[in-house]
Amino acid sequence: MSKIVLPPTPAQVEDARRVIADHLRVTPVLDFSLRGRSVLAKMESFQHTGSFKSRGALAAVAAAQRENPDGAVIASSAGNHGLGIAYAASVLGVRATVVVPGNASAVKVKKLQSYDIELIQVGSSYDDAQNEAWALAESRGIRYLSPFNDTHVIAGQSTVFFEMFEQCPDLEHVVVSVGGGGLISSAVLAREIMGRHDIRITGVQPQRSAAMYHVLRGVKMADVVHDDTIADGLAGGGDDDAVTTEIIAQHGISIVLVPEVNIRSAVREAAESNGVVMEGSASAAYAAITENLVDDTDSRLGFVVSGRNIAHDLFAKILNETTL
């Protein structure tokens, strides 16, 4: 399913900000100690559904409802976007279908099953789920909501950074985990609208599944090789010619890669040192900072604790790992 997706307009951003203010909370920024360095942490793990994804989902479902009050929506997801769609559909009264991989996180699937939605599990990767959702959207004639390549999703997720930049006037550099690029694109959008060009943005991807990193270097999406990673929300491919890729390239945003061993260590360290449950996707940014993969030792750093929905057995296993 190919379509031209444009960056959000200021009016679309304002629409997103209004609906999110009506339904979601402003999350706090906490001061973490990352191996002795003070780092600002935007706590999106405190958000409804346990991740920032509820913001983009709410904005996108509300936009779909404005266009067709009797319509339905369908989404593909590794889990958190689906939870956001399910939440948004429940509060706005919209029918929703969520397609996730057959091996999606058990904790995310359990939470999805608590909502009044159609839940479909298929295949063994995000790409499998996306292809199924595209096909169903086409056959049913309903609106498909991408977790990243969607104007209103990006607009909704930009509210993370409108809040963070206002909460942290001393912030100089924000480190953002990257999957399809929706969150980091929204950081760029908020920076441009707010005129905070002093803030540097760096992206982080798991070394084992880094589609955006390779595509920005000329590799075709279909040729990117993916291995298993606990950062399941960042794993898999994306859309060819996605607006997120365009935004990242246009603004010269650099992306660093984090080895799996460091992502696992970050999950454990965040719990032990800062008392916070973080799933692998959030831990990628944490690891990039603690392992000095981000080339910046002096700036006031911040990152987004993007989600807490890690499978309980995986979390317990990582906590018990002593040598990685």
Q: Does any domain span residue 5?
A: no
Residue owning tokens 């996306």: 130
pLDDT of residue 198: 95
Q: Which of 110, 144, 178 is the last residue of a domain?
A: 144
Q: Are residues 46 and 166 in the same domain?
A: yes
Share of the chain above pLDDT 70, in %: 99
pTM of the predicted structure, to 2 decimals? 0.94
Q: Which of 144, 160, 184 is the last residue of a domain?
A: 144
pLDDT of residue 127: 87
Give the mean pLDDT of the chain.
95
Q: Does any domain span residue 4?
A: no
Q: Are residues 15 and 63 in the same domain?
A: no
Q: Does any domain span residue 315?
A: yes
Q: Does any domain span residue 3?
A: no
Assess whether pLDDT exceeds 70 at residue 1: no
pLDDT digit string, tens, across residues 156-171 = 999 999 999 999 999 9
Q: Does any domain span residue 59?
A: yes
pLDDT digit string, tens, across residues 197-233 = 999 999 999 999 999 999 999 999 889 999 999 999 9
pLDDT digit string, tens, across residues 236-260 = 877 888 999 999 999 999 999 999 9
Q: Does any domain span residue 17?
A: yes
pLDDT of residue 260: 98
Q: Are residues 122 and 242 in the same domain?
A: no
pLDDT of residue 324: 47
Q: Which of 109, 144, 179 is the last residue of a domain?
A: 144
Q: Does any domain span residue 197?
A: yes
Q: List CB contacts of 278: < 8 A, sequence separation 6 or more.
A: 45, 266, 267, 270, 271, 286, 305, 307, 308, 310
Structure tokens at 226: 């993916």
Domain span at residue 69 reads 54-144
Q: Are residues 178 and 162 in the same domain?
A: yes
Q: Are residues 132 and 233 in the same domain?
A: no
DSSP string, 146-181: -SSS-HHHHHHHHHHHHHHHHH-TT--EEEEE-SSS
Q: Are residues 234 and 120 in the same domain?
A: no
Q: Are residues 68 and 98 in the same domain?
A: yes
Q: Are residues 200 and 263 in the same domain?
A: yes
Q: Does any domain span residue 282?
A: yes
Distance from C-alpha of 75 to C-alpha of 134, rounded to nearest angstrom: 8
Q: Contact, 181 vs 242, CB < 8 A?
A: yes
The burial of 193, by beta-carbon neighbours within 10 Å (0-12 exposed, 13-18 middle, 19 or more buried), is given as: middle
Q: What would the mean pLDDT of 55-74 be, rounded to a whole number? A: 96
Q: What would the mean pLDDT of 298-317 be, rounded to a whole number? A: 96
Q: Are residues 84 and 157 in the same domain?
A: no
Q: What would the mean pLDDT of 125-145 be, rounded to a whole number? A: 94
pLDDT of residue 319: 96
Q: Are residues 62 and 186 in the same domain?
A: no
Structural domain tally of the chain?
2
- Give the CA radius of gyration of the chain: 18
Q: Are residues 205 and 306 in the same domain?
A: yes
pLDDT digit string, tens, across residues 261-295 = 999 999 999 999 999 999 999 999 999 999 999 98
Q: Are residues 161 and 211 in the same domain?
A: yes
Give the model's confidence band at 114: pLDDT under 50 very low, under 70 low, under 90 confident, else very high: very high
Q: What CATH number corresponds to the domain at position 71?
A: 3.40.50.1100
Q: What would the mean pLDDT of 172-198 be, rounded to a whole number? A: 97
How far are the Cα atoms of 174, 179, 252, 254 from residue 184, in angstroms, in the given order? 10, 9, 12, 11
